[in-house]
Structure 1
């Protein structure tokens, strides 16, 4: 339980993809102007965090509503309803569809009327030009962003990503930079002008919420130890070895072992897709350095700067 302001607390949780990559999850608690509380998203907190949450909120009795703003975060809704059963349980249409047995409030948080009920304490914004939920269940770029007026802190997941890279990858990856979701292009509505509408929304948001101090976003776990050295042969930049000691380094080692065994060059490895945000994409800047020291070109259809990815 992290107290980020006098009236704002954030809870960090673990959520692993395939049991390996921990992309994290979160929940935020805000104190309203009337002294009571709201929860943003749901996470089944345990141990000390649970004790602190119950102590601050009078054992959950002072929580007015649990507002689930991310349509794909449905796993812990039941647990949080049980913690504060008197609180209004509000979610998106997808929450209601995937947890139909819960006593959902009549309004949905993507609707302006429901958002206006909390206008004394929160501002909401939903991206234009993209679908909140797409036909592809793997695309999670849509969500409802919430900004707490008193603290100026924004709570968001997936629409914006934050990467704090571990260990030696700090040399190659920008730290704690906001990026749009990597599947954004797949979430765009199938109509002319959708991309322009999204861009206009992003510019407007950056202007209206320019004084935001903190963006709470579940992010890839970062730890600050490790070392990595890549070895390549001249003149073609063929990978021939690596020294690696780093948290979660087995994921990098798997990629590098395969590349070395097959005689893959740095340029060829860069042609592979690197999902963002992951620690694997930290290899990209190192591979570009090898390319720069050899006559082989960078792949022409890949990005060449820090955004997007590494």
Structure 2
């Protein structure tokens, strides 16, 4: 998979990269570059920039000097953090509580990426963390949760793992469908009504972020929804899985 950068408008660039799983399959990975109203930039997630992609990003960001922060929004996406910190040493690095444990060589901010303090610092973005499932699951193989980010100006939603476009639907440009991460059931908390809390959270998100047009998924690529399609697709998948999740 070739590295690509897509200008989604209003100061949002989706960056698609390569991630080889088990040394065999390239499942892809992403980060995003966002230009703030101040003219400075932030990244969502870390990725090692090389070649033409690196040149394009550096040209946009004054050779990287205008990058003020990197928001690492998935607790289990840590592979590229150290290199990103070397490339943008002046940037503030935000992560979950797991990030400093996995990448101690990075100077991490005290404020966690999912904190209210970070959300207040970047009012041009909206953040949401799934309810009813573990943000950092005890099982290291369960990656269903992440901090979801919405950029209203470009109508772009940035999602690591939590929702995905099923592979069979990747070529259906007429009506893209959404799916839940395959480990969602395993990620459910043991508390009462965890499945209901998750489903209710997702339904609320579908309504609140109904204007989403650009879906940036970590491993399922970049998809474009027509008006109203994202809301309908998310409501549909929850309707189809609610009984299973609530009776887990």
SS at match of 2:178: strand
Matched, 1:30 2:34: yes
Unpaired runs of at least 5, structure 2: 223-239, 241-248
Q: 1:215 to 1:178 in 2, by over 3 A?
A: same
Displacement of 1:164 after TM fit?
A: 4.4
Report 1:71-90 matches (<5 A): 71-90=75-94
Displacement of 1:176 after TM fit?
A: 4.0
Q: Determine the structure 1 residue equivalent to 2:244.
A: none
Higher relative contact order (CA 8 A, sep 6+): 2
One of 103, 107, 131 as aligned partner of 2:107: 103
Report 1:72-151 matches (<5 A): 72-119=76-123, 121-151=124-154
TM-score under structure 2 normalisation?
A: 0.82
Displacement of 1:16 after TM fit?
A: 2.1
One of 3, 18, 22 as aligned partner of 2:7: 3
Report 1:194-213 matches (<5 A): 194-213=194-213
1:205-224 deviations in whole A, cap 9, x for unaligned? 000000011110123579xx
Distance across 2 between alignment mates of 1:90 and 1:220:
24
Distance across 2 between alignment mates of 1:52 and 1:221:
20
Displacement of 1:149 after TM fit?
A: 2.8
Matched, 1:158 2:170: no
Distance across 2 between alignment mates of 1:80 and 1:221:
21
Task: Mark the structure with the bigger radius of gyration.
Answer: 1
Contact 1:164-1:176 at 8 Å conserved across structures: no
One of 48, 57, 60 as aligned partner of 1:56: 60
1:163-217 deviations in whole A, cap 9, x for unaligned? 3449xx969xx97422111110000001111111101100100000000111101
Q: How many residues align?
A: 218
List structure 1 segments (4+ residues) > 3 angstroms apart after TM superposition: 163-166
1:22-60 deviations in whole A, cap 9, x for unaligned? 221001001111111110000002100000000000011
SS at match of 1:5: coil
Contact 1:164-1:175 at 8 Å conserved across structures: no
